[in-house]
């Protein structure tokens, strides 16, 4: 089912035309029927062979009611533009066309109404010429009379063709239902209506209220006065919702698929329209059925930053418009380019941002968005309405290939620079690497390291492939004394007193190990490099399994060294515990 909005001067016979077309009354209020003028949104529909159900949002035409008109026309995909043959093109016709043009509406049909009162051709020619200059371009037209019925069959046929030209809706898309009416039904509670532009609604679904994040449950669902368990886009829907805050729902609210949208109070946009270069600082942004005051900061000739008084659920490529309520004009339409723009704090930042936005296509382009951001979470990109162009590099993180390659180069440079600054501790801690690279998550450091053959991790630090501490001469001498002792008795690790006598602190022992001069098996216990392999070879010659005492005797060492050495061999997979305190060498289980 497709939704078509109507537009025209005050009434232009629009309501009468919709009554004749659908058999329904579009004017909901007695005052509207008394005055013959649409004051608020009306909703009617009809079923046409070849098109199914077509619903119409009847919008007011008077200039003082343009806010109501915008709430109805914002979410719809096509327009039935009504101009009366006996009145011709009017100022309100021009204003409505400016709205449609600002929103970028591309599908439409002209109906020249009241054709029984005047020759429709002059009005048709004038209206088609004006409409052709807008985003609608060349549209078909029908002359019609609600009184005589002339042209109604032609209008129905034209509507069927129009419906067939509309793009197929995204039934699996994320729901964003802009509320255009909210009311209470006795025994049911709160009901809201709106145009479902994408996605599918089901009874029992949870929907998130955009303005405060409250979760509401879909208690009931109607479309065109028929009860449904499920309704897909595009559709006029009435949704009975329950939950915290349901009673506060109002026009301009949005109900969303939970956790799939970002709400933004600052957006960067591309401007369209003749007055876009000379915008007032304070305007109203109309998006969907919402109307929010905004502050405009021009960035370039056709780009601007908008600061919203209240955040809205917007996505890249969304169309909206800026309105000057005081002067009753539509100075510009906008296309949303960025819903998470960077801060502008330095001199010249606005001009630089304008240059960056000049290459932004104004539609959902995953590769382009990733190039601009370098790194972004996949879920955030989806919430912006942008399909991810690649698989994550770590967790949920996506990376632009060029930026990722540059990060790998910078990580290697940071490791080298750290080693040069701290020769005794050349290993770069991962958290320092994260901060140095400005990364938002440690998992990204791990992913960079895994893809960098020239780097390695040891004892929780990152080293270059050949990185070794440079030991001061006095430390080298002390380490040489320890090595001499261990050469004579390989498994008699020097005790704390001996290490203190030589001036070898835990920090210096760590540096000696990183330099490849010693092997630490435990805090304060060092052996020669390769002692673990020698010990495993000795123990392999024992009868398997063996006890700790048997191992200590075979290695000619004490339990002070033997027990930590066995635990070290366990950790590194050279020995395995079996039957309680017994061990055997790996492969001899």
Cβ 89 vs Cβ 113: under 8 Å: no
CA atoms within 13 A on the CB side of 372: 22
Omega before 210 cis (within 30°)? no
**C-alpha–C-alpha distance, residues 290 and 252, integer Å:** 4
Highest mean pLDDT among 56-65, 352-361, 558-567: 558-567
**Lowest-confidence segment of 41-45, 263-267, 424-428, 463-467 by average pLDDT:** 463-467
**C-alpha–C-alpha distance, residues 587 and 589, integer Å:** 6
Strand partners, 285: 292, 322
**Lowest-confidence segment of 74-88, 269-283, 458-472, 549-563 by average pLDDT:** 458-472
Cβ 181 vs Cβ 41: under 8 Å: yes
- Determine the average pLDDT of the residues in 431-438: 94
**Tokens linked to 512:** 């000696």
* Whether residue 67 has pLDDT greater than 70: no
Q: Which CATH architecture has domain 404-464?
A: Orthogonal Bundle (1.10)
Domain ranges in the chain are: 2-165, 176-256, 404-464, 478-585
* The pLDDT value given to residue 13: 67
Sign for the CA dihedral angle at 371, 372, 376, 380 comes to negative
Is the fold of 404-464 the same as that of 478-585?
A: yes
- Scan for tokens 């006065």, then name that residue: 225
**C-alpha–C-alpha distance, residues 402 and 470, integer Å:** 35
- Determine the average pLDDT of the residues in 387-404: 94
Instruction: Give the model's confidence band at 478: pLDDT under 50 very low, under 70 low, under 90 confident, else very high.
Output: very high
Q: How do residues 286-310 score in pLDDT, each as one tens digit?
A: 888 898 999 999 998 889 999 999 9
Degrees to nearest 5, angle at CA 294 with 289 and 298? 125
* The pLDDT value given to residue 73: 59
| Average predicted confidence (pLDDT) for the chain | 86
The percent of residues above 70 in pLDDT, for the chain, comes to 88
- Determine the average pLDDT of the residues in 317-334: 79
* Three-state DSSP class for residue 335: strand
**C-alpha–C-alpha distance, residues 558 and 471, integer Å:** 30
Instruction: Give the model's confidence band at 331: pLDDT under 50 very low, under 70 low, under 90 confident, else very high.
Output: low
* The pLDDT value given to residue 469: 60
Instruction: Give the model's confidence band at 556: pLDDT under 50 very low, under 70 low, under 90 confident, else very high.
Output: very high
Instruction: Give the model's confidence band at 20: pLDDT under 50 very low, under 70 low, under 90 confident, else very high.
Output: confident
Omega before 234 cis (within 30°)? yes
Helix/strand/coil (H/E/C) assignment for every residue in 18-69 = HHHHHCCCCCCCHHHHHHCCCCCCEEEEEEECCCEEEEEEECCCCHHHHHHH
Q: Are strands 254-256 and 206-209 parallel, antiparallel or unpaired?
A: antiparallel
- Determine the average pLDDT of the residues in 271-280: 74
Cβ 466 vs Cβ 453: under 8 Å: no
Q: Which helix (H) or strand (E) covers residue 165, if one does?
A: helix 152-165
Count other Cβ atoms within 10 Å, centred on residue 317.
16
* Whether residue 544 has pLDDT greater than 50: yes
* The pLDDT value given to residue 4: 39
- Report the CATH fold assignment for 478-585: Arc Repressor Mutant, subunit A (1.10.10)
**C-alpha–C-alpha distance, residues 138 and 161, integer Å:** 14
34 versus 438: which is more confidently predicted? 438
Count of residues making up the chain: 589
**C-alpha–C-alpha distance, residues 291 and 468, integer Å:** 64
Sign for the CA dihedral angle at 158, 160, 163, 168 comes to negative
Cβ 471 vs Cβ 481: under 8 Å: no
**Tokens linked to 155:** 């209008």
Cβ 275 vs Cβ 322: under 8 Å: no
**Lowest-confidence segment of 208-217, 315-324, 437-446 by average pLDDT:** 315-324
**Domain 2-165 bears CATH identifier 2.40.50.140:** no
* Whether residue 123 has pLDDT greater than 70: yes
Instruction: Give the model's confidence band at 71: pLDDT under 50 very low, under 70 low, under 90 confident, else very high.
Output: low
Sign for the CA dihedral angle at 411, 412, 414, 418 comes to positive
- Report the CATH fold assignment for 176-256: Elongation Factor Tu (Ef-tu); domain 3 (2.40.30)
288-306 burial code (b ≥16 CB/10 A, e <16):
bbbbbebebbbbbebbbbb
The percent of residues above 90 in pLDDT, for the chain, comes to 52
**C-alpha–C-alpha distance, residues 125 and 121, integer Å:** 6
**C-alpha–C-alpha distance, residues 381 and 370, integer Å:** 9
Cβ 284 vs Cβ 306: under 8 Å: no
Highest mean pLDDT among 84-98, 279-293, 444-458, 552-566: 552-566
* Whether residue 64 has pLDDT greater than 50: no
- Determine the average pLDDT of the residues in 546-562: 95
361 versus 441: which is more confidently predicted? 441
pTM of the model: 0.72
- Determine the average pLDDT of the residues in 339-350: 90
CA distances from 41 to 6, 245, 486 (A): 10, 24, 92
Count other Cβ atoms within 10 Å, centred on residue 475.
22
Query: Residue 369: what are its φ and ψ, rounded to 5°?
Result: -65, -40
Helix/strand/coil (H/E/C) assignment for every residue in 547-567 = CHHHHHHHHCCCHHHHHHHHH
Calculate the CA dihedral of residues 233, 236, 238, 241 and round it to 10 degrees: 40
Any long-range contacts for 344-352 (C-beta under 8 Å, 24+ apart)?
344/305, 350/297, 350/298, 350/299, 350/300, 350/305, 351/299, 351/300
Q: How do residues 206-250 score in pLDDT, each as one tens digit?
A: 999 999 999 999 999 998 888 999 999 888 899 999 999 899 999
Smallest Cα–Cα separation from 254: which of 281, 279, 288, 220?
A: 288
* Three-state DSSP class for residue 589: coil
Q: How do residues 107-117 score in pLDDT, each as one tens digit?
A: 999 999 999 99
CA distances from 440 to 338, 344, 374, 394, 401 (A): 20, 20, 12, 12, 17
* Whether residue 275 has pLDDT greater than 70: no
């Amino acid at each position: 089912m497709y939704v078509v909005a109507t537009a025209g001067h005050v009434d232009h016979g629009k309501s009468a035309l919709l009554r004749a077309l659908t058999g329904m009354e579009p004017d909901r209020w007695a005052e509207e029927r008394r005055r013959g003028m649409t004051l608020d949104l009306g909703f009617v529909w009809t079923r046409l062979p070849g098109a199914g159900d077509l619903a119409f949002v009847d919008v007011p035409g008077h200039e003082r009611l343009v806010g109501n008109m915008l709430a109805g026309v914002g979410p719809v995909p096509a327009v039935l533009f009504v101009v009366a043959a006996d009145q011709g093109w009017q100022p309100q016709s021009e204003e409505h066309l400016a709205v449609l043009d600002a929103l970028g509406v591309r599908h439409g049909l002209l109906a020249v109404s009241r054709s029984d009162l005047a020759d429709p051709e002059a009005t048709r020619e004038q209206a088609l010429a004006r409409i052709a200059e807008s985003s609608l371009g060349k549209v078909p037209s029908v002359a019609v009379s609600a009184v005589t019925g002339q042209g109604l069959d032609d209008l129905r046929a034209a509507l069927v063709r129009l419906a067939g030209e509309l793009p197929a809706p995204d039934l699996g898309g994320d729901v964003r239902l802009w509320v255009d009416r909210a009311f209470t039904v006795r025994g049911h509670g709160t009901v809201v209506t709106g145009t479902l532009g994408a996605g599918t609604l089901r009874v029992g679904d949870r929907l998130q209220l955009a303005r405060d994040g409250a979760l509401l449950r879909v208690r009931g669902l109607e479309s065109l006065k028929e009860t449904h368990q499920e309704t897909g886009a595009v559709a006029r829907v009435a949704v009975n919702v329950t939950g915290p805050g349901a009673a506060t729902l109002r026009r301009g609210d949005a109900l969303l698929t939970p956790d799939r949208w970002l709400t933004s109070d600052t957006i960067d946009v591309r401007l369209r329209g003749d007055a876009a270069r000379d915008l007032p600082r304070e305007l109203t942004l109309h998006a969907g059925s919402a109307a929010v005051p905004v502050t405009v900061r021009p960035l370039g000739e056709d780009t601007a930053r908008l600061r919203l008084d209240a955040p809205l659920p917007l996505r890249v490529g969304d169309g909206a418009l800026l309105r000057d309520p005081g002067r009753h004009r539509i100075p510009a339409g906008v296309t949303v380019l960025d819903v998470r723009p960077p801060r502008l704090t330095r001199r010249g930042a606005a001009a630089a941002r304008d240059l960056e936005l000049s290459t932004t296509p104004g539609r959902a382009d995953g590769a382009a968005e990733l190039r601009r951001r370098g790194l972004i979470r996949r879920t955030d990109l989806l919430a912006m309405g942008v399909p991810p162009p690649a698989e994550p590099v770590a967790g949920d993180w996506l990376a632009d290939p060029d930026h990722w390659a540059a990060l790998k180069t910078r990580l290697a440079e940071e490791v080298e620079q750290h080693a040069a600054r701290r020769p005794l501790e050349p290993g770069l801690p991962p958290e320092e690497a994260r901060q140095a690279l400005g990364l938002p998550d440690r998992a990204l450091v791990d992913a960079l390291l895994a893809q960098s053959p020239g780097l390695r991790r040891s004892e929780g630090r990152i080293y270059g492939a050949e990185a070794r501490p440079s030991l001061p001469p006095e430390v080298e001498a002390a380490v040489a004394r320890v090595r001499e002792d261990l050469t004579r008795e390989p498994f008699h690790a020097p005790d704390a007193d001996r290490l203190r006598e030589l001036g070898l602190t835990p920090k210096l022992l760590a540096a000696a190990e990183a330099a490849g001069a010693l092997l630490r098996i435990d805090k304060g216990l060092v052996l020669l490099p390769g002692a673990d392999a020698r010990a495993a070879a000795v123990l392999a010659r024992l009868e398997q399994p063996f006890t700790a005492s048997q191992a200590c005797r075979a290695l000619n060492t004490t339990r002070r060294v033997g027990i930590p050495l066995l635990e070290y061999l366990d950790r590194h997979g050279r020995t395995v515990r079996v039957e309680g305190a017994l061990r055997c060498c790996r492969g001899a289980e």
